[in-house]
Amino acid sequence: MLTAQPRPIILRRSDIINFAGKHHRLTSKTTPFPGFRRRLPIRAVISGGDNKTSAAEVVVEKAKEDNGSLASSSKSGSINVKAVITIRKKMKERLTDKIEDGWESFINGIGRGILIQLISEEIDPATRSGKSAESFVRGWLPKPSNNPYIVEYGADFVVPRDFGCPGAILISNFHDKEFFLVESVVHGFSEGPIFFRADTWIPSRKDNPESRIIFKNQAYLPSQTPPGIKDLRREDLLSIRGNGKGERKLHERIYDYDVYNDLGNPNKSEDTVRPVLGNEDWPYPRRCRTGRPPTKKDPFTETRVEKPHPVYVPRDETFEEIKQNTFSAGRLKAVLHNLIPLIAAKMSSSDIPFTNFSDIEKLYNEGVLSKEEEQKAVKMNQILANVMNQLLTVGDKLLKYDTPAIIKRDRFAWLRDNEFARQILAGVNPVNIQLLEELPILSTLDPAIYGPPESAITREILEKELHRTTVEQAIKEKRLFILDYHDMLLPFMEKMNSLPGRKAYASRTILYYTETGILRPIVIELSLPPTPSSPSNKRIFTHGHDATTYWIWKLAKAHVCSNDAGVHQLVNHWLRTHASMEPYIIATHRQLSSMHPVHKLLHPHMRYTMEINALARQSLINGGGIIEACFSPGKYAMEISSAAYKSMWRFDMEALPADLIRRGMAVEDPSMPGGVKLLIEDYPYAADGLLIWSAIKEMVTSYVDHYYSQTNSVKSDVELQSWWDEIKNKGHHDKRNEPWWPNLATNDDLSGILTTMIWVASGQHAAINFGQYPFGGYPPNRPTLMRKSIPEEGDPDYEKFLHNPEYTFLTSLPTQLQATKVMAVQDTLSTHSADEEYINQLNDIHRLSFNDPEVQELFKRFSTKLEEIEQIIHQRNKNIKLKNRNGAGVPPYELLLPSSPPGVTGRGIPNSISI
């Protein structure tokens, strides 16, 4: 590999050169803090270096020894060229950082800090590799006035006239610490300025002696790679893959696979032992390998890293500064929201429940503690008083929750049946409703273990609720739908209900789509595993009209919502977007060169995902984490996620049209967006999602056809075929033998695969993530667990229920501590960072990575299409005929609007799973 070797530092007076008069400038807009985005649209231009004329060419008789460049041995002439590198500095610097920056500027100034090697696309006959030239950057450049966090350095080269066009640069960092390289631009060649977009951390040679390879902004299929950089293409991929051994260091960028073996902590206690996910018993997608040593008590479980220590992810996958600040602010809010209720809980014998609706409303109006409760807490002891005083001086905004969208317009909407049903189509989890196609409803579970397969929902029960319509007529007209969590949850019911403070049922909910276009729930079935005394342990609930039935029906709906919240978080959100996307990201880096057109296309859709997944393993989905503490499945949460992966996850069904057809919510229709026609036109998630899906598909198809214009070019692309094989056989190893994996032989195959991946990372994740706080921030609307069974006549608590049903309902919900924990986390997960990159910005993002006008025009058309879609969605939300997105107190459906400002907005489609 072409690596730079360290040179002795010899300081001469002539070495100290000031470049301030060299007319360096920034020509593109930059964004100051706090909106400082990752992909800074910076284009450095050296005066005189942009002309494609011979003005930049100079005949050199003798190479200048002190500029460290490779001089031409030919007296016929050489050319002077200049490389300008753009480096991003920290926004928040300590005094020591500023001192180090000053020293680094000095070292760069004298030409001993950063070495650049230019590698030509042409072969040097002597070395049989790309021609090369090298030079240290030198000089002190003035800070650009429009962005104090960007600095530039220049390096001068003298190269032969026949050097050819540079296809790669190699960067070596001789400083003691890493730096963030935004871009390098090479001036002086006849082709004009040549851009090398980087957006990467360059480690110190003390940490990694190999030079970092940066390819120019040109997409090449493997067969089209210029001969001078073919070896670098292969070497770069080899360095990224690593050798699968040892513990990874934070400065590395090694991508490899491992199972989920770090969720439990056997060293801590028996109660924190968790099964390894990623084997025959518990199949699961693979995560990024960290190589940490095994625990002492279980050789198959990896030692955990607890906060505040970071979990390894490849260096370029980590949050950047603005994102870190946003996430840290969210964590502070979570601490404040959780600590104060914890203090309140300690003041009583146990964690306190909500006992009336005023308790909940205080969270938004007064804060998590009333003044009276604050004074009680302060009086407990002096230490606690000091803590409280510090917290209470932070400010009211941190101590109060924002009013969630679900109650902002109508405080009582959540109580109504039509709102319960509306959220199944237009809420945060609109992906589980299915068409009911036949009766009886049958379970696929083993009847020897789980009892008779027939549901207790009979034709007679349904027809009582359908009034004048027969079941046969309703099924024929496709008006009956089901929300079915029976088979997914019943195998776990016994274990879940053995946990303290948990009472759950496996549920089925039948809904009827009325002639007026309203979906309403008509029957709920709640089931428990059979017992000797009750072989068919199923209870049926209908809404009824008397007071007692009304409250019982409300409790039944709350249990359904609790199941829905758990399936949403563990299956649809975590498993189907976060966990399933990580193997695609790892394989893309390991098998596709950064100059491969598919890598370039997917790159914006991989941002921050591995980091947020690592943080989730650290404190959300781990043993004893937030999900276990606050959701019904408790310590069995990830087992349910694994079981769902085993029974239902299919790559081919993650495509939106295929998923809708599978659930019976749409039928094929080539004339409609996405090629399908919806059974329920007013299905906001699906209607808006199909617009986004179609736009992505159109863009991806054009992109694939542009790069794969030759017959069999997809099949003959060795990197692409290795990529797809690795996704199937390593990334989703436990599903490797499934027959439903798509083939990868044609342009259509590739377009379908890439469209699915981009949809999952962007539109699908946005639809089921950014509504978490708007819908879940009011605990009665989406309780994450239920603590009491539904009372029956003869139960000890039945009389208490009749006397005070509101108390029974509220004390069945999560406790105040559980609820506020979830609310704080949902608030963080629903927040857009100030540096978020949205799908409608792909044109600007890709403009910095492609020099192909046709490709740039393609992304420009895509951005224009998304602007049109945004206007269509706005018009739909104003249509009074669409009752699931318009009406008195009804919040508009905006989760699939492409753009958004920062914060909790309930809208916006980021390019990637970034939170």
Single out the residue of 717, 750, 738 nearest to residue 591, CA to CA: 717
775: its two tokens: 């819908």
Q: Which is catalytic among the residues 265, 769, 781, 840? A: 769
**Contact at 8 Å (CB) between 580 and 654?**
yes
Single out the residue of 318, 319, 320, 322 nearest to residue 34, CA to CA: 322
Single out the residue of 109, 908, 913, 883 nearest to residue 421, CA to CA: 883
DSSP 573: I
Single out the residue of 811, 756, 759, 753 nearest to residue 787, CA to CA: 811
How many of the other CB atoms lie within 10 Å of CB of 586?
A: 27
Gap between the Cα atoms of 468 and 209, Å rounded: 79
Q: Which is catalytic among the residues 337, 486, 543, 578? A: 578
| Backbone φ, ψ for residue 741 (5° rounding) | -60, 130
- To which H or E segment does residue 756 belong? helix 747-759
Gap between the Cα atoms of 562 and 555, Å rounded: 10
Q: Which is catalytic among the residues 187, 605, 765, 832? A: 765
759: its two tokens: 């949809």
669: its two tokens: 């229709």
Please list, in sequence order, all residues whose beta carbon lies within 8 angstroms of the beta carbon of residue 372, skipping any fewer than 6 positions away: none
**Contact at 8 Å (CB) between 696 and 877?**
no
Residue keyed to tokens 């089925």: 508
| Backbone φ, ψ for residue 198 (5° rounding) | -120, -65
**Strand-strand pairing, 179-187 and 78-88:** antiparallel
| Backbone φ, ψ for residue 381 (5° rounding) | -165, 170
DSSP characters for 374-430? HHHHHHH-HHHHHHHHHHHTS-HHHHSPPPPHHHHS-TTGGGSHHHHHHHHHHSS--
Angstrom CA distances, 464 to 385, 416, 457, stand at 60, 20, 11
Gap between the Cα atoms of 650 and 759, Å rounded: 15
Single out the residue of 290, 279, 281 nearest to residue 736, CA to CA: 279
**Contact at 8 Å (CB) between 616 and 609?**
no
Gap between the Cα atoms of 906 and 895, Å rounded: 6
Catalytic residue list contains 769: yes
Please list, in sequence order, all residues whose beta carbon lies within 8 angstroms of the beta carbon of residue 733, skipping any fewer than 6 positions away: 257, 278, 286
Gap between the Cα atoms of 489 and 562, Å rounded: 12
**Contact at 8 Å (CB) between 725 and 744?**
no
Q: Which is catalytic among the residues 24, 337, 486, 573? A: 573
Indicate the residue type of 535.
P
Single out the residue of 182, 154, 175 nearest to residue 107, CA to CA: 175
628: its two tokens: 């276990």
DSSP 900: -
DSSP 3-state assignment of 621? Answer: coil
Burial (Cβ within 10 Å: 0-12, 13-18, ≥19) of residue 204: middle
How many of the other CB atoms lie within 10 Å of CB of 163?
A: 24
**Contact at 8 Å (CB) between 511 and 421?**
yes
DSSP 3-state assignment of 215? Answer: strand
Burial (Cβ within 10 Å: 0-12, 13-18, ≥19) of residue 371: exposed
Gap between the Cα atoms of 63 and 215, Å rounded: 27
Catalytic residue list contains 217: no
Catalytic residue list contains 846: no
Active site residues: 573, 578, 765, 769, 915
